[in-house]
Amino acid sequence: MNRIASQISFFAPAAVMSAWATVMLHTIATGQITHLLSPLFRNYVLIAALLLIALSALYLVLYQPSETTAPAFAPAGRLRQFGRWLVLLLPLVAASILSPSALSSTTFNNRSSTAGVAAMPSWNQASQLKAKEVLDTDPNQPAPVEVTDLITLSRNPAQVQAFEGRKVRTVGLYAAQPGKPVKLVRWIMWCCAADAQPAAVELTGNTSGNWKDTQWVEVVGTAHFPSILGAFIPKIEVDSIQPTQEPDEPYLSP
């Protein structure tokens, strides 16, 4: 029995490193990594997974279990050894299976109240170029915009005047809670899901429908920028809402 315990203890580190590598590769293969990490850092996850596999193999090659019995403080018995494995591997399995595919509306509400801790889209050179691109679209067709485009446009009075009343088409997460305006939300990610901040525009008009909370929808409507306390607030007067597929990149970059 002691020999079995020693063998199990020997293989445990390699098994845990391999399990971590498997979880990392699983998030890449299934595309789940797009919900967890900015594109800037995704290659490092692949490198880390490959290193863990290499270290697991190296551990097995360079280190061999001792012929002596397990130390006195090591748990004895198969049931207790099985428990040790569960403690090591269960969090990995849970992380792989139970991680959500999207941030919830509760997270949206909580992080909306602290949005000031991270810079939201601002009126800089990149946003000016994007605004010009949007304004140059065919006025007879809905302009394809992101939620963040409407926010950056609202920072410049001249652009607000030029874009007021334009038809737009945009994609986002449908967010509706009792007593609050319906909103279309996109998440801005700097590094990972932990630092993601919501950017949203209010939807008015024809917002009725059997839409699920945080469901991906495509909205077509008219952009308006009413002034509230001296600030322009982007809104979309909805013509239609249709379900749509999740974008290849569900998070926007700042």
> What's the pLDDT at 219?
95
For 73-107, b/e burial (b = at least 16 CB within 10 A) is eeeeeeeebeeeeeeeeeeeeeebeeeeebbebeb
Tokens 């013509």 sit at which residue?
A: 239
CA distance 53 to 48: 9
CA distance 2 to 171: 61
> What's the pLDDT at 71?
47
77, 126: one domain: no
* Mean per-residue pLDDT over the chain, rounded: 77
Picking from 78, 98, 118, the residue at the C-terminal end of a domain is: 98
- At 5-39, the pLDDT tens digits run 666 677 777 888 888 898 889 889 988 888 888 88
161, 186: one domain: yes
Picking from 47, 78, 98, the residue at the C-terminal end of a domain is: 98
* Residue 31 region by backbone torsions, left for phi larger than 0, else alpha for psi between -120 and 50, else beta: left
CA distance 108 to 198: 6
160, 225: one domain: yes
122, 85: one domain: no
Percent of the chain with pLDDT over 70: 68
9, 110: one domain: no
> What's the pLDDT at 105?
63
Give the predicted TM-score (pTM) of the model: 0.66
- At 57-105, the pLDDT tens digits run 887 777 655 555 444 444 455 555 566 566 556 666 666 565 555 566 6
* The pLDDT of residue 163 is above 80: yes
Please give the angle made by the CA atoms of 198, 120 and 196, to the nearest 5 degrees. Answer: 40
**Domain total in the chain:** 2
Beta pairing partners, 167:
222
Going by C-alpha positions, the residue among 230, 168, 170, 156 that lies closest to residue 199 is 170
Report which residue type is found at 222. Answer: T
Q: 48: domain range? A: 2-98
10, 72: one domain: yes
> What's the pLDDT at 244?
93
